[in-house]
A and B are shown apart, each in its own frame.
Chain A
């Protein structure tokens, strides 16, 4: 009887735990995925159907919106621009941030904490307020409408984020491991390359993913510093599709959104596995 009672208590406990974890999780999943599902399904609808129908599923699914987007003059150029700028604005900030984070986490120099705090300033200032001075500066330098203006602004914006993430990861690595390497004759570069980076790899990947996301989705700078069609990125062109003077084709708008998000989603999925693998392998070691 007591055993039975214990079994029931255990079932209740497990059920209660499942409900406590499962329900909020389900709400969160629905909350985050419904807009994406809506956008995907809307991209298969007829333009007028989106306005008229309250149902999620398209009445006559069609790939016309995707065909329209892919046949847009300049789509391949905008895609190239987004990829090119994102690759540069990920590799460069990561390289700089790894060195900066190593310095901040391993060397006790004066004003270290204040400097680290000052690193955050570009992130604290609202991006919109940076646009006018940046605009003036880049105009004076003759960099408006060039890839350089995007490299510089995107990199400058990503470095504080990546540095702060990596400082945390590097700081959590016991100094003893590095000291052992030093005894074995490793210089600073070798310690960073062969000891710190492999251990902190999940952090590097995380920082990289966030840099990719920042650069891929960036909108304010590209809008303010680029005005040539061939230099636009995908988010800029997505904004350009908004038309208050005609009937907004939300199917095309959503198809463009999905195609813009898709590469980022693939990168997320690919790198997420690497992050998990790195964490697991780190735990086994």
Chain B
């Protein structure tokens, strides 16, 4: 072989290799020309395979994800929209949907949800109504998918109640107060009822207000009435009778939970996701703790409301590839991924998970809680002033715990004025 021929072959080979490499690169680039960015509200919501299965199913869609705290997400979303790197899907507090919708930060995804129903009927059929209600505004426009939602339940140590001779379920606030007092009196180092006194939103207190027959009208809690006064008195009584810890005014949700998990408190109002931690410390199967719906007022004639609140995945106005967003939502909603989160964290609205043996083994209380959770009502919120109203309710919660001697009627009147002012009434 002449030198000339060899060099021609080498040159042809190099050109061919170059063309192949270019082709591969071009194909890779073409394969990645669709992309979707997701913001999760907590690390715990991220699927374990980090979208590996999604990428296998849809190799032309690249997925990026970040964890942005639910507490910060609104501000960060606005910032990201301004700077042009907003996510396609963002996890938020359900209470903020209306406000974000009014400001055109989120995208009406109703048509794509209809498409999901057609293309993925199996996944769609598994989702409970709260999955859509928790991701919709007051007009019923759906902005995404509320795959995880929780409620607050009255949680207590049954073994301690047995010891004290108190029958349960307790069902009404007067019996809860009595039980808390007896538990606290029974031992020097026991807390009757573990409460929150500061630093977190009134997520635990508003559901009790609703359970006690309270009303939220157009997003504004109506506390300046007998029900509101009784609700305030409930918390004040826990403090006044020494049923709650004296340091409660400085307690956040962590301290409240730790008191119960650490077997120092006999009762608390808490969401099911914390039962995962309680179960690690005191296995549910031992029958030492139980839960029931939030208590009503004695003699209550208003219907009991067990409210729930969701952490929906919402499609933002930055999304340009609606199909990719829908596919990502469908992937997140698949039972295998929803189950992972539900086992370690928040309960899911995918009803298929509730029957999964692995889930039932991990959460032995699931079957007991299902009847209570079956009829959750979405916590009503104000369309534009939800955050301000929550701030006022948080201030009220702090006051009724820190100042249990205050006149509850005066507190109710004072804070009703603040709530009305915030809502522009």
Interface residues of A (CB under 8 A from B): 48, 51-52, 135-136, 138-139, 142, 144-145, 223-225, 227-229, 240, 242-248, 250
Contact call A247/B200, Cβ cutoff below 8 A? no
Cα distance A225–B80 when bound, in Å? 9
Residues of B within 8 A of A142 (CB): 83-84
The 5 closest A-B pairs by CB, nearest first: A51-B258, A144-B83, A248-B254, A139-B83, A139-B82
- Contact B85–A52 (Cβ < 8 Å): no
Residues of B within 8 A of A52 (CB): 258, 262, 264
- Interface segment among B52-60, B64-72, B368-376: the answer is B64-72
Number of interface residues of B (CB under 8 A): 35
B66: shortest Cβ distance to chain A, in Å?
5
Closest residue of A by beta carbon distance from B44: A246
Q: How far is the CB of A212 from chain B (nearest CB, A)?
A: 27
Distance to closest chain B CB from A279 (angstroms): 44
| Chain B residue at minimal CB-CB distance from A72 | B43
Q: Which residues of A contact B254 (CB under 8 A)?
A: 51, 244, 246-248, 250
- Contact, CB under 8 Å: A247 / B277: yes
Residues of B within 8 A of A138 (CB): 83
Decide if B258 touches A135 in the complex (CB within 8 Å): no
Q: Mark B251-264, 1 if CB is under 8 A from A, else 0.
A: 01111011101101
Question: What residues of B have a CB within 8 angstroms of the CB of A246 in the complex?
Answer: 44, 254, 273-274, 277, 345
In the assembled complex, how far is the CB of residue A237 from the closest CB belonging to chain B, in whole angstroms?
Answer: 10
Contact residues in A for B8 (Cβ distance below 8 Å): none
B196 to A, closest residue via Cβ:
A244
Is the Cβ of A51 less than 8 Å from the Cβ of B262?
A: yes
Q: Which A residues touch B264, using CB under 8 A?
A: 52
* Known interface pairs A51-B258, A229-B66; A145-B85 also in contact (CB < 8 Å): yes
In the bound complex, do residue B67 and residue A227 qualify as a contact, i.e. CB atoms below 8 Å apart?
A: no
Say yes or no: A227 contacts B262, CB within 8 Å: no
Q: Is residue B119 within 8 Å, beta carbon to beta carbon, of the partner chain? A: no
Q: Which residue of B lies closest to A138 (CB)?
A: B83
- Is B258 touching A227 in the complex (CB atoms < 8 A)? no
Cβ-closest chain B residue relative to A229: B66
In the bound assembly, the distance between CA atoms of A64 and B262 in angstroms comes to 19
Question: How far is A156 from B221 in the complex, measured between Cα atoms in Å?
Answer: 46
Give the CA-CA distance A242 to B43 in the complex, in Å.
Answer: 12
Q: Given A145-B83, A227-B80, list of 6 further CB < 8 A pairs? A: A135-B79, A224-B79, A227-B66, A243-B42, A244-B71, A246-B44
Complex interface: chain B residues within 8 A of A48 (CB): 258, 261-262, 281
On whether the beta carbons of A229 and B42 are closer than 8 Å, the reply is: no
A247 touches B258 (CB 8 A): yes
Enumerate 29 A-B pairs (CB-CB under 8 Å) in ascending A order: A48-B262, A48-B281, A51-B262, A52-B262, A52-B264, A139-B79, A139-B82, A139-B84, A144-B79, A145-B85, A224-B79, A225-B79, A227-B68, A228-B66, A228-B85, A240-B67, A240-B69, A244-B200, A244-B201, A244-B253, A245-B253, A246-B44, A246-B254, A246-B273, A246-B274, A247-B258, A247-B277, A248-B252, A250-B254
Instruction: Indicate if the CB atoms of B273 and A51 lie closer than 8 Å.
Output: no
Q: Within 8 Å of chain A (Cβ to Cβ): is B28?
A: no
| B76 touches A (CB below 8 Å) | yes
CA separation between A45 and B259, bound complex, in Å? 16
Chain A residues lying within 8 Å of B201, measured Cβ to Cβ, are: 244
Which residues of A have CB within 8 Å of B277? Answer: 246-247
Which residues of B from 202 to 258 have beta carbons under 8 Å from A? 252-255, 257-258
**In the complex, which residues of chain B have a beta carbon less than 8 angstroms from the beta carbon of A248?**
252, 254
Residues of B within 8 A of A224 (CB): 75, 79
- Chain A residues closer than 8 Å to B258, beta-carbon distance: 48, 51-52, 247
* Residues on the A chain within 8 Å of B262, using CB: 48, 51-52
CB distance from A249 to the nearest CB of B (A): 9
Task: Please give the distance in Å from A169's CB to the nearest CB on chain B.
Answer: 39
Closest to A249 in B: B254
A61 to B80, CA, bound (A): 42
Q: Is the CB of A227 within 8 A of B273?
A: no
- In the docked arrangement, what's the CA distance between A1 and B305, Å? 91
Contact flags B179-207 to A (C-beta < 8 A → 1, else 0): 00000000000000000000111000000
Bound CA–CA A228/B80 (angstroms): 10
Complex: chain B residue closest to A253, CB-CB: B254
Contact check, B82 vs A136: say whether CB atoms are below 8 A apart.
yes
Contacts of A229 in B (CB 8 A): 66-67
- Specify the chain A residue showing the minimal Cβ separation from B251: A51
In the bound complex, residues from chain B placing their C-beta under 8 Å from that of A244 are 71, 199-201, 252-254
In the complex, residue of chain A having the shortest beta-carbon distance to the beta carbon of B75: A224
Query: B42: which A residues are within 8 A, CB to CB?
Result: 243, 245
B residues less than 8 Å from A136 (CB atoms): 82
